[in-house]
Amino acid sequence: MKMKVSLSTLLGLSIFLGANPQGFAKADSQAESVHPVFARVNGEIIHQGAYDTALRVGGRQRFYHGKAPDEELIAFRREVAERLVVEKVLYQEALRQGMSPDQAWVDKEFAKIEKRYSVSPQWHESGETLQRKIRDGLAERSLIRQLDQAYKSAPVPAEQQVRAYYERNPDKFTSPEQMRVSTILLKVEPWQPKAVWDDTRSTAQRIHAALAKGAEFDTYAAQHPPEDESQMGYIHRGMLGDTAQAAIDQLKEGEYTEPVTLLEGIGIFRLDARREARLNSFEQVRERATALLSREQSERLYRERITALRASASVEFTNPLYYEVASVGALQDSAHLRANKKKE
């Protein structure tokens, strides 16, 4: 089960989900008549306001470039809902395991919120009631955060496992081909007129002719070095761009190219040496292999734990087709609709 909406993103909604009665509030008939219910997870309510807020905030991050296709919006709505459900069952499981909120973390996060919102008149008007609800919300966030992190823990793999992982994945531990290339670069700004480029190309041709007669390549390379020092010495394939790389690929060690037109000017390249791709020994990459395997095991265990916890939960959506509704605000539970009709 892959969660693209991260826990850290939703943790930023603490002030909405904790301080607002539309957050993770306890179920009661009066609350349900005022605040529409989005879903019930093991009998506990996720209010519509929590879902709408998560959808709105997450949507601004995901679709900042503009309106997304309908199929992407549907997938995103389901993704957000699933994350809220998972957070609810994580919170319930944390309570079942007897976990306690990290009070230091709660105080730290509350101080951030207070610093940000204390300038607002509403902050002072709401008094201790608002602050208590924010702290309650942060306490829930702390429990979710703790269990989420615990589910990501995995034992350090034994060396035998690490060695087997190394042998199964040689591509992860192979140093790519390297080339030591010397460069003569006659620089031209991209915006320069054609006449300047033609004149520079003629100069490059004269240098190439001089090289053919025995002139020292290194002398010209010292006079016309590349702008990027990372392109000097041993380099990986692709660092010089496709055009230059294609020309170098035709060379044997000691040979040089014809003048090559580049974005930054006209270049001539000499292949000084070539190192073939090679598999690093296990001893050289033991630490990296251990880290990679540990991360993969942690991610796999996390998915398995979350999937099992989610599968054990009883989840009822007020509107099972919530993800197909065009307007998020149009999602309302039956109790809310009945209340509105009575008012009319």
- Residue 336 pLDDT class (50, 70, 90 cuts): very low
Query: What span, in angstroms and rounded, lies between the C-alpha atoms of 178 and 275?
Result: 5
Q: How far apart, in whole angstroms, are the C-alpha atoms of residue 342 and residue 344? A: 5
Going from the C-alpha of 113 to that of each of 20, 103, 260, the distances in angstroms are 14, 15, 58
180, 233 contact by CB (below 8 A): yes
Q: Domain residues of the chain, as ranges?
A: 7-151+314-343, 177-276
From 166-175, 258-267, 314-323, 331-340, the region with the lowest mean pLDDT: 331-340
**Closest to 330 measured CA to CA, from 319, 343, 344, 317:** 319
Query: Taking each helix axis from N to C terminus, what angle separates 48-62 and 70-96, rounded to the nearest 10 degrees?
Result: 130
Given the structure tokens 């942060």, which residue do they identify? 138
Given CATH 1.10.4030.10, say whether it is the number of domain 7-151+314-343.
yes
The whole-chain average pLDDT of the chain stands at 83
Q: How confident is the model at residue 229 (pLDDT cuts 50, 70, 90)?
A: low
How large is the average pLDDT for residues 292-321?
Answer: 94
Percent with pLDDT over 90 in the chain: 57
Q: What is the pLDDT of residue 334?
A: 39
- Give residue-wise pLDDT tens across range 166-203: 999 999 999 988 889 999 999 999 899 999 999 999 99
Kindly report which listed range (70-74, 249-253, 332-336) carries the lowest average pLDDT score. 332-336
Both tokens of 298, joined, read 């942690």
More reliable by pLDDT, 29 or 119: 119
- Of the candidates 330, 340, 320, 344, which has an alpha carbon nearest to the alpha carbon of residue 34? 340
Dihedral-angle region of residue 315 (phi above 0 means left; psi in -120 to 50 means alpha; beta otherwise):
beta
pLDDT at 196: 94
Please count the CA atoms within 13 angstroms of the CA of 328 that sit on its side-chain side. 20
Q: How confident is residue 241, by pLDDT bands cut at 50, 70 and 90?
A: confident
Strand partners for 261? 266
**Fold of the 177-276 domain:** Chitinase A; domain 3 (3.10.50)
What pLDDT sits at residue 11?
A: 43
CA separation for the pair 297, 153 (Å, rounded): 9
**Euclidean distance between CA atoms 264 and 178, whole angstroms:** 23
| Residue 34 confidence (pLDDT) | 60
Higher pLDDT residue, 3 or 210? 210
Please report the pLDDT score of residue 226 as a whole number.
82
Q: Of 289, 298, 260, give the one whose Cα is nearest residue 163.
A: 289
Q: Is the pLDDT of residue 328 over 80?
A: no
The residue type found at 263 is: L
pLDDT of res. 61 = 83
Buried-exposed string 75-106: b where 16+ CB fall within 10 A, e elsewhere:
ebbebbbbbbbbbbbbbbbbeeeebebbeeeb
- Please write the tens of the pLDDT for every residue from 37-63: 999 999 999 999 889 988 888 888 888
Instruction: Note the pLDDT tens digit of each residue in 121-135.
Output: 888 777 788 888 889
Q: Is the pLDDT confidence value at 1 over 60?
A: no
Sheet of 265-275: strand order equals 233-236, 178-187, 265-275, 260-262
pLDDT at 236 over 50: yes
- Specify the higher pLDDT residue, 257 or 65: 257
